[in-house]
Each structure stands twice: as structure tokens, then as C-alpha cells.
Amino acid sequence: MSATASDSIMETGTFVNCFLLVISLVIIPVNGGYDKERDALLKGTFPQDFIWSSATAAYQIEGAWNVSDKGPSVWDTLAHQDNNRDTGDVACDSYHKYPADIQLMKQMGLKYYRFSISWPRIFPTGEQQDGVNQDGVDYYNNLINELKANDIEPMVTLFHWDLPQALQDRYGGFLNNHTTNTTVIHDLFGDYARFCYQNFGDRVKYWITFNDPWIIALEGYGIGNFPPKHRDPAEGQYKAAHNIILSHAKAYHIYDDEFRAAQGGQVSIALSCDWGDPKYPDDPDTVEAAERYVQFFVGWFAHAIYKNGDYPDVMKATMARKGREEGRNSSRLPEFTPEQKAYINRTSDFFALNYYTTVEVADSGHIVTENPNYFSDMDVEKGHAADWPQTPFTWLYTVPWGIRKLLGFIRDEYGDPDVYITENGRPDHDRDPAILMDMDRICSYMMHTNEVMKAYSLDNVKVKAFTAWSLMDGYEWLPGYTVRFGLYYVDFNDPDRTRYPKASSVFYKQLVRNNGYPEGSDFTKYVENMWYFCHNTTEAEVNGYTGGASQISSPFSLFLAILGVVCCFID
């Protein structure tokens, strides 16, 4: 796709098209899963200091996988294991193009950027004693300085899945000696965190220790699809999670003891969670099963960190029973010592939440199996309602009201913390021609941010931030470049990795500028017109995906809607 083509699309707007948009949307019938009361548009704004942000992760965008002394990470290893696999070798080449990326954020009016530091770019083997890669340190210093020069606050994740390969080889990564107090991996993570606080903490005020430990533990050490591909579905995820929680606590205490007074920042851990909605809400067993699902998911980490230093009671009881039924001497869920519980308890300054989807949960009764795993351990059945819009990911259905319910759960369960939404987004397929008119993504951001506003204004959840995942298309882990999450399109066939604005970046800019959905604004009027369309559309219709049922009455309406987006928001 050429820049000229994209420019001409972006210049198409006229008042007439805006008018047609409105007319066309009026004739789209309401159907699908729309619930008039639950899904109504709330007008209003977020508080003045609300944080609008976008996020990326090092391995997904940086490239430069082996420049200077950078060491390989477990993702470099996996990506190079077979020739057919996409790699992050170049990715978006953000290592070289970061100043341009910062301008993309500026164009959208963003004041915050969440990115991650690559541990093996700083310490090639993961251990400081083996040497520091000064070029890597310079890179992050330059990135942070450039952000600050552009009035953008960095929020820095220390670990977004790219474990130094040497730590996996030497110590078994997060499986290292998980039951003792003196596990090497905790100390090494602590050293790395300390180095980052020392070198960047004068300018970085928001730290995230781990991104989505649920995935690291489950996919990396239980199911074994993600690197380091350790397959031990019965126990691996529980051992790894145990170590991650302790490593997080270590990094938190180091900040607290050595840096907080001078640097005045905050530290958290980004937890992902599906909302678990009871399939039969009037049935107490189903309601319990749905709660169990959420406790096994976010509670696995959050209960210890926010409540009492230990795993949720329901998780401990279920796992103890399973252990007995399986004839084991102890539960497959490890135990924290009293000292460890005290050490872990309350090691977060705010709740960092990644939300993507909701599942419908029912009670499965006690699952007895010779091959126990994390999902059978929960004793639930999970699925989705037939009218939830599907995305290219089989696990990701667009269920905006789920984020409001989850935020309510967090408020009640974890003592009403400040909540920063550190990721929310929506994928589409990699297609030719490129999808620049990403209506699905616009709809998704529109609906999710409105539900977040309901949580803030109606439910009094202390939501402080919304972060769009992602600033630009990147390396989407196992699916590589076949799935795109960006507000900006990246042409991965172009040696320059040119970025192009998608319509969603223009929408996001207006959302940020309006700080929500103020009564009477042109933006809110546009949103009102789009509201029913968004609630009754799936990727099947908008982007031509053939895997789902169409609900759009008129392709002409869709065409006009797209034109309307272009003309209403380009300035």
C-alpha cells in the first residue's frame, strides 16, 4: 500500500458524507446481543487528570534482536526454531524508529506511553555480573528522554515475556527452586529491577514488574506453547506463578526500600483477566463456578498481592481436594511460608488491569481426570453466548460490558484500589489490501471506554487510566504478523516499516480530546449515530471475514459508515 493511497483515503471527507453516515445508520436495524438498558450510551467525561495512553512491548516492536551485545531471549530462541515462523528480528524496527513512534502518540494527543524494557538488552545473560550492554541502556535513556521532551510520561514494564535465554538454560527460568526462600530467579529479577530504577527512575514514575503472569505461567510452563515450552500441565504453571509472585514482591520491596523516597514513583503488576459471567445467573452453583473462574484467573495473583499474601481460599481448597483425590501427599498448588506471605502482602500501589474478553461459565461438577491441568482444576465449563461478536482470536469475543463487571469485582474484592487499565484492544486479520478503515476497532474502543466510564461514574470504581493495545501493529507472539492490534498500520513488507494511520487512531484522538463522551459535542453525536451499528456488528461484516454470520442489513450502510468516519474525524 502506498502513502499516496492512504493520504487520498484520508482526504475524502465532505459534509455530505457525514450526512449520509447519519442517514445510513438510522436504517440499520437493532438486533444481536444489544441490551437496551445495559448497553445504553452514557454521556459524560472522565476527570481532568484521567490518563489516556497506548502500549507496546519490547519483543513485539523493537527488532534489533542481536545488535550490540543484546543477548537472546526465549522468544528469539523460539522464533528461530523453524524457518517458517515469523520472528521479531526486525518487527517494527522501533529500536531505530522510536522518535517517529513518539510523534504518532503526539498526533493522538497522548500524554502517557506504556512500553517494556527487554531484560537481555540490558543484561545479555540476565545477570549483571556477566556484563551490561551499554547500548541497550542508552537506547532506553534516549527513548525516555525523547518521550519527556514531547511531554509524554513513560510507564515501564520490566518483564513482558522476553526472559533472557541464559536464565532459562542456567536456572530453569521461573521453575527455579520454587519452594525455597533463596531462589536465584527472585534475586536476579530484583537486581535487574534495581538497575532499571537506578538508571531510569529519575524520569520513570510508573513501573509494572510483570506483564500478564497468567500467560507466562500457563503458556510457558504448563501448557507449553509459549517459550520456554516447558510442558507440565499438572504443576508447571503453579510453580512458575509462585516464583513470579515472589519475584514481583522482591522488585516491589527494592523500590520501596531503596528508591521510593527519592524517586516518588509507583509500582504494580499488570494482571489480565476474563470476566467470568454465570451462564445461569439464578443458579447458585453456576454463580459460584463463575466466581471460582475469576479467582483462579486474576485471584491467583491478585489475592496474594492485594489481600493477604496467599492464594484465594477457593483455589487452595479446590487444589487440596484434588491432591487428595489424585492420591498425592500434597496439593499441586505450592504453599507460601508465613514470612513469604508477609513479604508479598500489599506489594502494589495501584491495580493494573489488562482486559480483553468475557467467558460464560457453568459448573462442571468435580472433574476427575488422569491428566489434570489448570482448566480441569477449576471444575467449570466455559463458553460464549451465540451473539457475542467474534474476532480473529478464538478466545477473544468482544464483550464490552464485561470490563465494567470486572472493574466492580476488583473494587469489591481488592479494597477499592486505583485501577489503571493497562491494556484493552481488538485484533483484526492481516489482509491485502490493508485494513485502514478498522471499524471493528473503533467500535471496540468506543464501547469499552464507555463501559469504563460507567464503572467510574456510576459504580465509583477509581479508574485512573485507559491504555489502548496497541500503538501499532506488532509481532503478535505465536500468530506472528497474521493478526494486527494497532492504532497504526505497519507495513511489514516495507524495509522502512512505514506506519500508516488507521481510522481508529483518528477516533482515539477525538476520544482523548473529548476526554469521554461530553453531552452535546460533535464527537458524542457521531458516537450516538454509531452506537447501534457498533453493537450489532462483527468482524464478519466489517472486514469481510467469512467465518461468522452477517447481521448487517445493507452493505451500502456500511460503506457510508466508513466514509463517515473518514470525513468526520480527519483534521
Quote the strand ranges of 223-287, DSSP E.
266-272, 275-278
CB of 59 to ligand BGC, least distance (A): 9
Residues 50-89 that bind ligand BGC (CB under 6 A): 57, 60
- Piece of the chain touching ligand BGC by CB under 6 A; list 69-77, 209-217, 406-414, 497-505: 209-217
93/472 Cα distance (integer angstroms)? 12
Q: How many residues contact ligand BGC, by CB under 6 A? A: 10
Smallest distance from the beta carbon of 272 to ligand BGC, in angstroms? 5
Scan residues 240-279 and list those touching ligand BGC (CB under 6 A).
272
**Residue type at 64 in one-letter notation:** A
Question: Would strands 351-354 and 419-424 be described as parallel, antiparallel, or unpaired?
Answer: parallel
User: Which residue's CB is nearer to ligand BGC, number 176 or number 272?
Assistant: 272
Strands (E), 181-252: 206-211
Residue with nearest beta carbon to ligand BGC: 212
Question: Does residue 351 contact residue 418 with C-beta atoms inside 8 Å?
Answer: yes
Q: Smaller CB distance to ligand BGC: residue 162 or 191?
A: 162
- Give the three-state DSSP class for 330: coil
Binder among 62, 423, 491, 541 for ligand BGC (CB under 6 A): 423
Q: Is the torsion defined by CA of 203, 206, 207, 208 positive or negative?
A: negative
Nine cell digits for residue 22: 447519519
Q: How far is residue 402's CA from residue 275's CA, in Å, rounded to a whole number? A: 6
Cβ distance to ligand BGC smaller for residue 57 or 434: 57
| Interface region with ligand BGC, contact rule CB under 6 A, candidates 177-185, 211-219, 225-233, 502-510 | 211-219
Q: Which residues within the stretch 303-342 sit at the binding site for ligand BGC (CB under 6 A)?
A: none
Smallest distance, Å, CB 485 to ligand BGC? Answer: 6
Residue 211 makes contact with ligand BGC by CB under 6 A: yes
Q: What is the DSSP string of 30-90?
A: P-TT--TTTTPPPPEE--TT-EEEEE--HHHH---TTSTTPPPBHHHHHHTSSTTS--SSS
Binding residues among 350-409 for ligand BGC as defined by CB under 6 A: 354
Quote the CA–CA distance of 232 and 281 in Å, as a whole number. Answer: 34
Provide, rounded to whole angstroms, the least separation between the CB of residue 56 and ligand BGC: 8
Interface mask toward ligand BGC for 477-506; x: CB under 6 A: --------x---------------------
Considering only 102-110, 207-215, 260-268, 438-446, which stretch makes contact with ligand BGC by CB under 6 A? Answer: 207-215
Stretch that binds ligand BGC, among 31-39, 208-216, 225-233, 554-562 (CB under 6 A): 208-216
Nearer to ligand BGC, 357 or 373 (CB): 357
- Which residues, at least 6 apart from 164, have a Cβ–Cβ distance to it below 8 Å? 71, 72, 73, 74, 119, 120, 123, 124, 125, 126
Strands 419-424 and 483-484: unpaired
Dihedral angle, C-alpha 266, 268, 272, 273, nearest 10 °: -100
Residues that bind ligand BGC (CB under 6 A): 57, 60, 211-212, 215, 272, 354, 423, 476, 485
